[in-house]
């Protein structure tokens, strides 16, 4: 069986959940190997967790020389690793960086690229939700090593093995790949809540909140969820743009999406339609959001959400 390379998404060695989901998918396609850009120390630490989730091998690409740069050096390093390993596929987390590295790699190796898959089966056929969720597309790469970016929450996290074997991989990075340098990087103020695109549960609020997000945040905290917002709420200055879900915001695909005081405009749907279970609270029973929900509550969110939160906290 061929190797399947999984590019690890991590912050300072702490591997993020979507990478473990990729390892579940990689096991369907071949023998998973993780590719970790970072120091050898952090790579060895991460290899333990990556191995437990199915990575038989962990290639550690020491990024001492390349971490100060944007994505181009990573694409070059991956090209060299693909040449060495001839993998059955390379999987990335669908995020800004994953998609850009994948696109650059696709050009370099002349391979087909599929972005934003929400599922990949054992034949390498992907499922995507396109045109604001109005079509489900099945696609398969027909040229070169399949490169696939997969949205968070598209597969379960499974613990299956022991620590992965660490293998140092020395990449040669050309000067031409070092044209854009990171000059500063500042961590976001921690909210204690999961990251929006990775959260298993998202509780969102719209114009119907009237600017009072306390009921949204209360329910989110009771459920261990991330908070999202419609563009109307963001444009009103009630929440920062980083919370916006939709066509011009973030695309989320959680296990549970709770839309409160959100009408369900097509541009909002584009960002949440692939959520596994959708719940809406809206005082207008004709609101379009009710067309796509699994469960709907017709009522005032300022009454419904505190009652739901209280009931959840009690249990």
Binding site for ligand FAD (CB under 6 A): 206-208, 230-233, 244-249, 261-263, 265, 267-268, 271, 281-284, 287, 300-302
For 105, the token pair is 């790699």
Nearest-approach distance from CB 297 to ligand FAD, in angstroms: 9
Of the pair 77, 245, the CB lying nearest ligand FAD is at 245
Of the pair 126, 244, the CB lying nearest ligand FAD is at 244
Beta strand pairing call for 31-37 and 113-117: unpaired
For 225, the token pair is 């969820």
Of the pair 59, 213, the CB lying nearest ligand FAD is at 213
Of the pair 222, 301, the CB lying nearest ligand FAD is at 301
- Could you tell me the sign of the dihedral formed by the alpha carbons of 190, 195, 201, 202, in that order? positive
If you search the block for the tokens 């022991």, which residue do you land on? 162
Nearest-approach distance from CB 115 to ligand FAD, in angstroms: 18
Q: What is the DSSP letter of 290?
A: G
| 3-state SS assignment for residue 110 | coil
Of the pair 5, 202, the CB lying nearest ligand FAD is at 202
Nearest-approach distance from CB 183 to ligand FAD, in angstroms: 29
Of the pair 89, 293, the CB lying nearest ligand FAD is at 293
- For residue 65, CA distances in Å to 119, 172, 174 come to 35, 10, 11
Nearest-approach distance from CB 129 to ligand FAD, in angstroms: 15
Nearest-approach distance from CB 204 to ligand FAD, in angstroms: 8
Of the pair 146, 271, the CB lying nearest ligand FAD is at 271
Burial of 229 (0-12, 13-18, 19+ CB in 10 A): buried
Nearest-approach distance from CB 277 to ligand FAD, in angstroms: 19
Rounded Cα–Cα distance for residues 64 and 152 (Å): 28
For Cα atoms 232, 250, 240, give the angle at the middle one, nearest 5 degrees.
50
Nearest-approach distance from CB 50 to ligand FAD, in angstroms: 34
What does 203-259 look like in DSSP terms, one character per residue?
EEE-GGGTT--HHHHHHHHHHTPEEEE-HHHHHTTSS-GGGBBSTTSB----SEEEE
């Amino acid at each position: 069986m061929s190797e399947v390379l999984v590019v690890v998404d991590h912050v300072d060695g702490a591997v993020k959940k979507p990478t473990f989901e990729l390892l579940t998918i990689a096991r369907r396609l071949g023998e998973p190997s993780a590719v970790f850009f970072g120091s050898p120390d952090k790579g060895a630490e991460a290899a333990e967790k990556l191995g437990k989730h199915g990575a038989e091998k962990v290639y550690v690409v020491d990024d001492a020389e390349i971490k100060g740069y944007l994505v181009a050096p990573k694409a070059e390093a991956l090209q060299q690793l693909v040449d060495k390993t001839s993998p059955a596929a390379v999987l990335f987390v669908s995020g800004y960086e994953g998609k850009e590295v994948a696109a650059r790699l696709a050009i370099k190796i002349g391979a087909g690229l599929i972005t934003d898959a929400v599922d990949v089966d054992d034949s390498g056929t992907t499922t995507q939700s396109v045109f604001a969720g109005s079509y489900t597309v099945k696609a398969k790469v027909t040229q070169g090593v399949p490169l696939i970016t997969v949205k968070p929450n598209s597969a379960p996290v499974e613990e299956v093995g022991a620590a992965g074997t660490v293998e140092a991989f020395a990449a040669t990075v050309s000067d031409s790949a070092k044209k854009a340098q990171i000059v500063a990087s500042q961590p976001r103020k921690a909210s204690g809540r999961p990251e929006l695109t990775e959260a298993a549960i998202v509780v969102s609020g719209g114009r119907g909140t009237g600017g009072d997000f306390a009921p949204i945040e209360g329910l989110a905290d009771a459920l261990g969820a991330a908070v999202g917002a419609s563009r109307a709420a963001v444009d009103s200055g009630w929440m920062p743009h980083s919370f916006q879900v939709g066509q011009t915001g973030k695309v989320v695909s959680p296990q549970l999406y709770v839309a409160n005081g959100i009408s369900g405009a097509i541009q909002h749907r584009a960002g949440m339609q692939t959520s596994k279970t959708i719940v809406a609270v809206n005082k207008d029973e004709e609101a379009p959001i009710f067309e796509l929900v699994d469960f709907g509550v017709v009522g005032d969110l300022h009454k419904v959400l505190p009652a739901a939160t209280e009931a959840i906290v009690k249990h």
